[in-house]
């Protein structure tokens, strides 16, 4: 099943913290925007709305995992 991967869904226990950091921390806001934009791009490729080679899609997915890890580290360390 092809779905988007919103951070709130992946880390529901941090929902309040995500909201607070998004509104009060510029670095976190950039991270979250980057993640959301990348997730949207991957979704469009997976649903054939945009075209990409398999290796490009694989690279984008790895980048999304990296950003998700960065966001998680930010959440647990803040």
Summarize pLDDT for 19-34 with one digit per residue, the tens: 999 999 999 999 999 9
- CA distances 64 to 24, 31, 41, 68, 69, Å, are 23, 11, 10, 6, 9
Higher pLDDT, residue 67 or 1: 67
Higher pLDDT, residue 44 or 1: 44
| pTM exceeding the 0.85 threshold for the entire prediction | yes
Query: Long-range contacts for 58-61 (Cβ within 8 Å, ≥24 apart)?
Result: none
């Amino acid at each position: 099943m092809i779905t988007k991967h919103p951070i709130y869904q992946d880390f529901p226990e941090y929902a309040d913290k995500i909201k607070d950091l998004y509104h009060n921390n510029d670095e976190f806001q950039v991270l979250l925007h980057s993640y959301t934009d990348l997730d949207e791009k991957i979704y469009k490729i997976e649903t054939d709305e945009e075209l990409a080679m398999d290796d490009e899609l694989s690279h984008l997915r790895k980048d999304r995992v990296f950003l998700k890890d960065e966001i998680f580290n930010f959440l647990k360390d803040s």
